[in-house]
Structure formats: structure tokens, C-alpha cells
Amino acid sequence: MPSDRTCRNCRVPLQTDDVAIYLKLVSRSAKDFLCIDCLGVQLECGREPIERLIQYYRDSGMCVLFR
């Protein structure tokens, strides 16, 4: 996955996990992405549940996006 992606809202550089969770939660075919903070705002849940989800998918090893 390209490493030069930035949040379309605040322009911070995105980690692979940020992109992966966006693909997972919002759209598999997304072309631009939000960082965890902005995604938390958009989903009105804050970043903490999203970070927990990332950890969950990583630990479970079940999602191809988090390998």
C-alpha cells in the first residue's frame, strides 16, 4: 500500500492501519481517506473505539487488510 497517503480532512500522513480501517468501516473502494481522528469525528464515536477495532482485527488475523 502506498505510504504517501494523507488524511483528506487534516492532511496528516496516514499509517497503513488508518487506511485499512477506513476501507473496512467506510468503503472498500475508497480513493481518499481520513485519519483515525477525523474518522472518529465523522462516525461520531471518537478515535478510541476505532483504535480498539484496529487492535481487534490485527489480533484476530482474520482480516486480509490487517496482515
Nearest distance from residue 46's CB to Zn ion, in Å? Answer: 13
Binding site for Zn ion (CB under 5 A): 7, 9-10, 35, 38
C-alpha span between 6 and 13 (Å, rounded): 4
Say whether 33 sits in a helix, a strand or coil: strand
The nearer residue to Zn ion, 21 or 35, going by C-beta atoms, is: 35
The nearer residue to Zn ion, 11 or 67, going by C-beta atoms, is: 11
Contact 34, 9 (CB under 8 A): yes
Nearest distance from residue 18's CB to Zn ion, in Å? Answer: 9
Written as one letter, the residue type at 34 is: L
